[in-house]
């Protein structure tokens, strides 16, 4: 079953997945948040994996001098 997750990455590189029904707002308010992504996945582990894939795509675009997309 596909679930909507928010994955939140800390500046240290740790990514945590929350369902939209979990208490993710406190984690997002943390000053140590590097980025966050809303996405659909079948499990928290898949959501974290997708987070890294989307980050890698974004990083490749930035290194290539491309404009940042609204959605990755």
Is the confidence at residue 16, as pLDDT, over 90? yes
pLDDT given for residue 11 in this prediction: 93
Residue 6 backbone zone (phi > 0: left; psi -120 to 50: alpha; other: beta) = beta
CA distance 17 to 33: 13
Give 20-46 pLDDT, tens digit per residue.
899 898 888 888 899 999 999 999 999
Query: pTM higher than 0.75, yes or no?
Result: yes
Q: For residues 16 and 38, what is the distance between their CA atoms, to the nearest angstrom?
A: 12
Domain map (residue ranges) of the chain: 3-63
Chain segment 61-71, per-residue pLDDT in tens: 999 999 999 88
Measured from the Cβ of residue 44, the count of other Cβ atoms closer than 10 Å reads: 17
Q: Phi/psi of residue 28, each to 5°?
A: -70, -25
Owner of token pair 């979990």: 22
């Amino acid at each position: 079953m596909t679930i909507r997750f928010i994955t939140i990455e800390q500046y240290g590189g740790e990514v945590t997945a929350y369902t939209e029904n979990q208490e993710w707002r406190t984690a997002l308010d943390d000053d140590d948040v590097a980025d966050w992504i809303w996405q659909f996945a079948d499990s928290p582990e898949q959501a974290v994996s997708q987070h890294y894939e989307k980050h890698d795509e974004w990083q490749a675009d930035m290194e290539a001098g491309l404009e940042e997309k609204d959605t990755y």
